[in-house]
Chain A
Amino acid sequence: MKAFRGEPSIFTSARPEDRRAELEVKNLTLKFGGITALSKIDLNVRDGELVSIIGPNGAGKTSLLNSITGYYKPQEGQISFNGQDVIGLSTHHLTRIGIGRTYQNIELFPGMTVLSNMLLARHVHCGYHVGKASLFLKSVREEEVRHRKILEELIDFLEMQAIRKQLVGSLPYGMRKRVELGRALALQPRLLVLDEPFAGMTLEEKEDMVRFLVELNEAWNQTMILVEHDMSIVMSISKRVAVFDFGVKIAEGSPDFVQNHPQVIKAYLGDTSKIE
C-alpha cells in the first residue's frame, strides 16, 4: 500500500534499527490496595506488529498501558523494551527511548493550537540547550524550522491542514482524538500506544482513523498496541488480539480464534450475536 498524501520523512528517512520495537511483558501484576488491576499478564509485541487489547470496562487495559508508559509501577513481573528492563523508568525517559502514546481521556493542551501541541512532542528531538535557546541562535532557528517541516508532513498525512492553527479546545471531540494521534506520531515513537482512539467518534471519523492506523502499520511499519472497545474495528485491523477480563488475560490469538473462544464469548461478548 502506498501513501497517497506524501511520505512523512520521519518514516521514510529513518533507519529500520532506529524504529525497531520489541516489547515483552512477563508475569505482570499491578495492585491498588485491595484491587488487583493486572494479574500475571504476559504479552509480547514484535517489531512491526499491531496488537490489539480488548476487554470490558475495568478489565485493566488502561492499567497495562500506564504500566508500559511508566505512569504506574507494577509490583511484580517484568516489562522489557528492546531488551532493556523498563520498570521503574519515568515516563519522560520512556518517551525518550521510543514509547509514545495517546490517552483514553485525551491529554492535549486545550489552550494551545494544534501546531503548538505537536511542537511539544518534538521536545526530545530538539538538540539545543538553554544557552543557545536564550539567544535564539541561527542553529536554533534552523532546528525549529526543521521540526515545523516534519510536523507539516504529519499534518498532511492526517489531513489536518485546515485546523493547524486552531485552538485544540475549540475542536470537536473526534478531531481532538486525531490531533492526539498526530502529537503521538510527532514523538517519533518506536512503539505507538493507543488507548481507545475511536471512542466518541462519528462513523466517518472512525473510518478516517482506521485508514490512518492501517496505513501507519502497513505502509510505514509502525509497531502499535491498540486498546479498543469497538469490536468490529479491532477484528478487522488486527492480526493478533488479546482479551482481558478482571485483570487477567483470558485469551490471545487471531481475531477468528478470539471471537470463537468460549471464555471470551462468556466474559466479554455476552451473546455471540453481537459479533456476527
Chain B
Amino acid sequence: MRKLQFHPCGSFKTSYQQDLNIFSTDFGRLWMGISIVLLFGVVPFISSAYILYVVNNIGIYAIAAVGLNLLIGFTGQISLGHGAFFGVGAYAAAILATKGGFPFFLAVPIAGVVSAAVGMVFGLPSARLKHLYLCIATLAGQFIIEYVLVQWEGLTGGAQGIFVPSATLFGINLGNDRAFFYVIFGCFVLMTWIAVNLIRTRIGRAFIAIRDNDRAAEGMGIPVFPYKLLSFAISSFYAGFAGALFAFYTMSITPEPFNLWLSIQYIAMIIIGGLGSIPGSVFGVIFIVTLNEVLSHATEYLMNVGVSTGVAITIAPLREFVYGLAIVLFIIFEPKGLAEVWRIVRSNFRLWPFSY
C-alpha cells in the first residue's frame, strides 16, 4: 500500500502530479471526507427545522459567494451588481418554471446561463474601466436590473412577484427543507470543486495575472478583456444558479430582496471570509448569515421582553453598524479574512505542542 502522508515536516513530493492535487496531504483529504460525510449524513438529521433553514440559506449564498470571489478576489474586477444578478437567476428560474413549464433540473442551470449573459453585458465596461469606475458602472447595472424587475410587470409580476411551483427532481418532491438540503449542498460541493479546478488551471492563472498586473498579463499572451468577460460570466452564472435555487426554495419571489444591500452583503462576505480564497468565501457566508440571524433574534427577543422595546428599536439599525464594524476590523487586523485565521489556527494545531 502507498504510504499515507499526514503532516510532513517538508516537501516529500515525488512527482509533478502531486503538486496539482487539491490537498497536499492524505490528512487533508481525510478531513474533507469526514466533513462531507458529516455534512450529508448528520447535519440534516440533527438540525431543527429552523437551523436547517439557516443552513440551507448558507448553502445558497455560499454558491454565489464562491462565484463572486472568482470575480473580485481572483480577477480583481469589482461588481456591485451581484445582488441583482442573483435576482436575475431567481426570476429566470421562476419564469421558466411557471411560464415555460421547465422542470427544476433544467430551469436552474438555464437561469444560471441567463444570469451569465446579463453579467457579461454589465461586465462590458471593464474593457475600459477599472477599480472605482468599474464599481460605479456595475452599480448602474444593479439599479437597471432592479428597475426592470419592478417595471416589466408582464414578465415579472411587478411588485407582487411570482409564486414558484414546488420543485421535483427525479420524481422526488423537494418541498421540504431536508430534501432541498441535499440539492443545495450537492450543487454547492460540485460548483466549489469546479471553482477550485478553474483556479488550478490556466483559466485561474490568467484571472490572477489580470488582477495583479494586466500589462504583464498581456505580455504572457493572455487576452485580458475576453478573460475579464469570462470571469463576469462565470461569476454571474454562480450568482444566477444560486438565485434560481433561492427561488425554488422560498417558492415566492419579489424584487425587493435583490437590492443593493444584498450586493453589499455579498462583498462583505468575501472580504470578511478572505478575498482570493474559496474556503474563505464559505466562512464569510457562515459569518454574515449567522450574524444576521443573531442580530434579528436579539432584536426580537428584546421586543418581546417588553420593558426593553426602546432598546430593541435602537438595536435594529445596529445590524448595519455591526456589519461595518466587522468589515473595518477585518481590514485592519486580518486583511486576508477568516481564511487566514483558519490557516493560523490549523498550523498552530499542526505544530502543537511545539508551537514555537
Report B185-206 CB contacts with A as 1/0, cut-off 8 Å: 0000000001001101111011
A120-B209 contact given A141-B17, A145-B16, A149-B16, CB 8 Å threshold:
yes
Complex CA gap A187/B20 in Å reads 21
Given A107-B219, A108-B216, A130-B198 in contact, is the A120-B205 Cβ separation under 8 Å?
Answer: yes
Q: In the complex, which residues 85-130 of chain A have their Cβ closer than 8 Å to any Cβ of chain B?
A: 90-93, 95-96, 100-101, 103, 107-112, 116, 119-124, 126, 128, 130
Residue of A whose beta carbon sits closest to that of B234: A130
Shortest CB distance A34–B (Å): 25
Query: Known contacts A92-B223, A120-B209; is A107 also within 8 Å of B216 by CB?
Result: yes
Q: Interface size for chain B: under 10, 10 to 19, 20 to 34, or 35 or more residues? A: 20 to 34
Asked if B222 CB lies within 8 Å of chain A CBs, one says yes
Asked whether B218 lies within 8 Å of A109 as measured between CB atoms, the reply is: no
Which of B19, B194, B205, B218 meets A92, CB within 8 Å? B218
B219 touches A134 (CB 8 A): no
Q: Kindly provide the distance from the CB of B74 to the nearest chain A CB, expressed in whole angstroms.
A: 12
Q: How many Å from the CB of B145 to the closest CB on chain A?
A: 25
Closest to A130 in B: B203
Q: Decide if B203 touches A92 in the complex (CB within 8 Å).
A: no
Q: Which residues of A contact B216 (CB under 8 A)?
A: 103, 107-109
On whether the beta carbons of B200 and A136 are closer than 8 Å, the reply is yes
- With CB as the reference atom, state the residue of chain B lying closest to A106: B216
Q: Measured between alpha carbons, how far is A43 from B194 in the docked complex, in Å? A: 49
Q: How far is the CA of A144 from the CA of B21 in the complex (A)?
A: 11
The reply to whether A123 and B202 form a contact with Cβ atoms under 8 Å apart is yes
Q: Which B residues lie within 8 Å of A123 (CB)?
A: 202, 205-206, 220-222
Q: Does A229 contact B (CB under 8 A)?
A: no
Select from chain B the residue with minimum beta-carbon distance to A121.
Answer: B220
Whether B201 lies near A135 (C-beta < 8 A) is: no
B167 at the interface (CB under 8 A from A): no
**Bound-complex Cα distance A149 to B20 (A):** 13
Contact B230 A130 (CB under 8 A): yes
Residues in A with CB closer than 8 Å to B222 are 92, 120, 123
**Residue pair B16, A148 in contact (C-beta under 8 Å):** yes
B220 adjacent to A136 (CB under 8 Å): no
A145 closest partner in B (C-beta):
B16
Q: Are A136 and B209 in contact (CB under 8 A)?
A: no
Residue of A nearest to B205 (CB): A120
**A140: B residues at CB distance < 8 A:** 201
Q: Are B202 and A91 in contact (CB under 8 A)?
A: no
- Identify B197's interface contact among A111, A116, A136, A183, CB under 8 A: A136
Chain A positions within 8 Å of B20 at CB level: 141, 144-145
Q: Do A148 and B19 form a contact, CB below 8 Å, given A109-B213, A130-B203? A: yes
Task: Pick the contact of A101: B212, B219, B234 (CB < 8 A).
Answer: B219
User: What is the total number of residues of chain A having a CB less than 8 Å from a CB of chain B?
Assistant: 42
How far, in angstroms, from A91 to B16 measured CA to CA in the complex?
31
CB-CB under 8 A for A128 and B219, given A109-B213, A120-B209, A144-B20: no
Instruction: Determine if B130 is an interface residue (Cβ-Cβ < 8 Å).
Output: no
- Nearest Cβ in chain A — how far from B343, in angstroms? 16
A70 cross-chain contacts in B, Cβ below 8 A: 218
**Smallest Cβ distance from B125 to chain A, in angstroms?**
19
Give chain B residues whose Cβ lies under 8 Å from the Cβ of A3. Answer: none
Which residues of B7-39 are within 8 A (CB) of A?
11, 15-17, 19-20
B198 touches A90 (CB 8 A): no
Central interface residue in A110, A121, A136, by most chain B CB within 10 Å? A136
- Do B203 and A133 have beta carbons less than 8 Å apart? yes
**Which of A109, A110, A111, A116 neighbours the largest number of chain B CB atoms within 10 Å of its CB?**
A109
Q: Does B208 contact A (CB under 8 A)?
A: yes
Query: Which residues of chain B have C-beta atoms less than 8 A from A120's C-beta?
Result: 205-206, 209, 217, 220, 222
Any A CB within 8 A of the CB of B297: no
Q: Which chain A residue shows the least CB distance to B204?
A: A133
Residues in A whose Cβ lies below 8 Å from that of B209: 109, 120
| B212 partner, pick from A92, A111, A122, beta carbons under 8 A | A111
B64 at the interface (CB under 8 A from A): no
A109 contacts B194, C-beta separation under 8 Å: no
Contact of A128 with B201 at beta-carbon distance under 8 Å, contacts A92-B223, A135-B194, A187-B220 already known: yes
Task: Name B201's closest neighbour in chain A (CB-CB).
Answer: A133
Q: When chains A and B are docked, how far (Å) is the Cα of A141 from the Cα of B22?
A: 12
Of B198, B202, B209, B217, most A-chain CB atoms within 10 Å: B202
Residue from the list B11, B202, B208 in contact with A112, Cβ < 8 A: B208
In the bound complex, residues from chain B placing their C-beta under 8 Å from that of A91 are 218-219
Binding site for B on A (CB under 8 A): 69-71, 90-93, 95-96, 100-101, 103, 107-112, 116, 119-124, 126, 128, 130, 133-136, 140-141, 144-145, 148-149, 152, 165, 183, 187
Which residues of B does A touch, CB under 8 Å? 11, 15-17, 19-20, 194, 197-198, 200-203, 205-206, 208-209, 212-213, 215-224, 230, 234
Return 15 A-B CB contacts under 8 Å, by A number: A71-B218, A91-B218, A92-B223, A95-B221, A109-B208, A109-B213, A112-B212, A120-B222, A124-B220, A130-B230, A140-B201, A141-B20, A145-B16, A148-B16, A148-B19
Q: In the complex, given contacts A92-B224, A134-B194, A136-B201, what are 5 additional A-B residue pairs having Cβ atoms less than 8 angstroms apart? A: A71-B215, A92-B223, A120-B220, A126-B201, A130-B234
Nearest 3 CB-CB pairings of A with B: A95-B221, A124-B221, A107-B216
